[in-house]
Chain A
Amino acid sequence: MPPRAVTAPNQADTELAKLTMVEAIAMAHAWEMQHDPSVVVIGQDVGLNGGVFRATAGLQQRFGKQRVQDTPLAEATIAGLAVGMAAHGIKPVAEIQFMGFLYPALDQIVNHMSRMRYRTRGRLSCPVVVRMPHGGGIHAPEHHSESTESMLCHIPGIRVVCPSSPARAYGLLLAAIRDPDPVMFLEPARLYRAVRQEVADDGRALPLDVCHLLREGTDVTIVTWGAMTAETLRAVAELDQEGISAEVIDLATLSPIDSATILASVAKTGRLVIVHEAVRNLGVGAEIAAIVAEHGLYDLQAPIQRVTGFDTIMPLFKLEQDYIPSAQRIVDAVQLTLAD
């Protein structure tokens, strides 16, 4: 794939570039590296190869080997280097090749990255972004399709972000890099090239604590994020046919959660369906349900429904589409909330 995102001239004066999410991610890297010399990209194969998904395509050619560094094949190394660099004036953007390979890095993320500011009373800090592909649906080998965001959301001191479109990926990645604290940036792998969208290369960041209203509606609120926004919007189109008006919220920032937007929507619709690909047990959906139970119970006209992955291992790809919640499961859950 040509490194279109980073070699394309600024097209603000002409027509906006139509980019895939992976191109938008590369473009956000390039913008920030251009404007902040302390931003350094590290990871496996992020250099000449541009990352296995090409999310860093063209960056090493443009910014050189010091600022786009291929690391040894070792995730703890990537995260540990990022901690040390960040404590000393560099803003590392680290790529983990797949979320299933994050675990060796967790020691560094949990024990250091998330608490460097805390335990040194602000003397040192970790402005790090750890990017990783998230979720299934791309026919990948074993361990390449995990959605373990709730594990990350349980760690105090880090932010967890998951974009759902090229434009959102661009704006949220800029925000993540500029944030003074560590951000886990989960990139829905099956959205990397699923759609093209006009994305202005304007360096404008999105907030890291606000959900996005994908669609207004009156009968039910559906909260989802990442790649599940696609299935949800397909379900909503079907519901439209049946005269059911669903409001769709893209959570986008999984931790901390923007509960105000969710509660306001539930107050309006009286019904809540939460959709995520990750396993059900203690998923982020459980936290959202708890927030609404604590603060919006009397707005509810029906029990909350969760449409999630099963409490099983993400299967190999022959069954992955049976694991990932389908539009039909979402439609059925919405109808359950509307049943008498």
Chain B
Amino acid sequence: MKTVAAFNIEYEQLLDPSGNATGELPAFARDADELLRMYRLMTLVRVFDTKAVNLQRTGQLGTYASCLGHEATHIGVGAAMHADDVLAPVYREYGTQLWRGVTMKEILTYWGGDERGNDFAGPRGDFAWCVPIATQTLHAAGAAMAFKIRGERRCALAYIGDGGTSEGAFYEAINVAGACALPVVFVIVNNGWAISMPVSAQTAAQTLAQKAVAAGIRGIQVDGNDVIAVRHVVGSAVEAARAGAGPCVVEALTYRLSDHTTADDASRYRPDEEVKRAWSLEPLLRTRAFLTKARLWDADKEQAWARECAASVEAAVGEYLAAPKPTTDAMFDYLFATPPKQLQEQRATARRYGAKPGGH
């Protein structure tokens, strides 16, 4: 028999776990301000995330999905996107969202059980958090189709987890993206675990990036704990998509250092040794080592920045906690552009029995 198709999957790493460049770095990595901006946000996200988990533990936040360990992937992707691109997140990519202008208060508001958290003041076109796994990949494809129809040089980017790549919606999204040559990039955050299921139980595929091959589109792996590599690889992918070169799947290899959410206890199913090893590879260490060697960062700066992070997180938490509970009208007023008669009647009923405006 002859071979009629063959494929290979490339893997990119630009910083090794010790923070040494593996080769020549891309242009943005020679911009000190840009590197520091990325590192500072990675740190801020870590502080924010820790605080959010604490808020949940103390009954001041609902179930929360931590992003611990994903900072390089999330900030790398954020930095790779343009402001007028569109993000379709899952529900833990806070780093990307903060880079794009979503606020910490909005994130807390959403996980605090209030839809107003989805009304981003910042990237007005970005999709909201998406709990039904993989469904958001089709929204990104749809947004990309809108850009293509109007001839706009923009790109949509959808996140998906390793478990999410088992969903039909993901396969459908990469398929239609390929079939219609849509300007869309899919970033698979392979953090090793879908709640209690390791990737090895999710698929027999050697990589998740190779799922792209079946859709006829490019698939590439990147070290997801290497913020420079992520930004570089995703940056090339979104630039190609904007330029009309079609979609791409990027698999970022990282590790979920936290439980799945605050409602989960990963010690039930995950070996301690694995987690311990993952901590030695976590992204902040590596980025800090690189910046320190480049004399862009030191212990004093780290301390000063840590204080700033703590202060800005506290300020956001204060704003979140001080916000009045929504009135019962919030259940009715945005379901339709104009509420039908039935809803107007039910709104009146809810007003009679429900929370008073401004109360808690």
Q: Which residues of A contact B (CB under 8 A)?
A: 40, 66-67, 69, 71-72, 74, 76-77, 79-90, 92, 104, 107-108, 111-112, 115, 117-125, 156-157, 179-181, 209, 256-257, 259-260
Q: Which of B142, B168, B335, B342 has a CB less than 8 Å from the CB of A118? A: B335
Residues on the A chain within 8 Å of B175, using CB: 72, 74, 77
A104 to B171, CA, bound (A): 13
B173 engages A80 (CB within 8 Å): yes
B128 engages A119 (CB within 8 Å): yes
A308 to B179, CA, bound (A): 43
- Write the chain B residue with the least CB distance to A122: B334
Residues on the B chain within 8 Å of A179, using CB: 337
B147 engages A88 (CB within 8 Å): yes
A88 engages B116 (CB within 8 Å): no
Give the Cβ gap from A156 to chain B, nearest Cβ, in Å: 6
Give the Cβ gap from B151 to chain A, nearest Cβ, in Å: 9
B135 engages A77 (CB within 8 Å): no
Q: Given that A76-B168, A83-B138, A84-B142 are known contacts, is A121 also in contact with B336, CB under 8 Å in the complex?
A: no
Q: Does B180 contact A (CB under 8 A)?
A: yes
Q: Which of A66, A69, A79, A107 has a CB less than 8 Å from the CB of B132? A: A107
A121 engages B116 (CB within 8 Å): yes
A120 to B340, CA, bound (A): 19
A110 to B22, CA, bound (A): 48
A180 to B120, CA, bound (A): 21
B143 engages A87 (CB within 8 Å): yes
B139 engages A83 (CB within 8 Å): yes
Give the Cβ gap from A168 to chain B, nearest Cβ, in Å: 20
Residues on the B chain within 8 Å of A85, using CB: 142-143, 145-146, 149
Report, as a range, how many residues of chain B touch the other chain. 35 or more
Residue of B144, B145, B147, B176 most packed against chain A (CB within 10 A): B145
Residues on the B chain within 8 Å of A119, using CB: 115, 118, 128
A88 engages B86 (CB within 8 Å): yes
Q: When each residue 127-167 of chain B gets 1 if its CB lies under 8 Å from chain A and 0 otherwise, what string results?
A: 11000100101111111111111100000100000000000
- Write the chain B residue with the least CB distance to A157: B335
B176 engages A74 (CB within 8 Å): yes
Residue of B144, B336, B341 most packed against chain A (CB within 10 A): B336
Q: Does B172 contact A (CB under 8 A)?
A: yes
Q: Given that A120-B128, A123-B124 are known contacts, is A90 also in contact with B138, CB under 8 Å in the complex?
A: no
Residues on the B chain within 8 Å of A112, using CB: 132, 135, 139
Q: Does B119 contact A (CB under 8 A)?
A: yes
B124 engages A69 (CB within 8 Å): no
A156 engages B335 (CB within 8 Å): yes
A108 engages B341 (CB within 8 Å): no
A80 to B180, CA, bound (A): 14
Q: Across chains A and B, which 4 residue pairs bring their CB atoms closest together, nearest first?
A: A84-B142, A80-B138, A84-B139, A88-B146
Other A-B pairs, 7, CB within 8 Å; known A120-B128, A157-B335, A259-B342: A40-B149, A84-B138, A84-B156, A87-B127, A107-B135, A120-B115, A124-B125
A123 engages B118 (CB within 8 Å): yes
Residue of B146, B150, B179 most packed against chain A (CB within 10 A): B146
Residues on the B chain within 8 Å of A117, using CB: 334-337
A118 engages B172 (CB within 8 Å): no
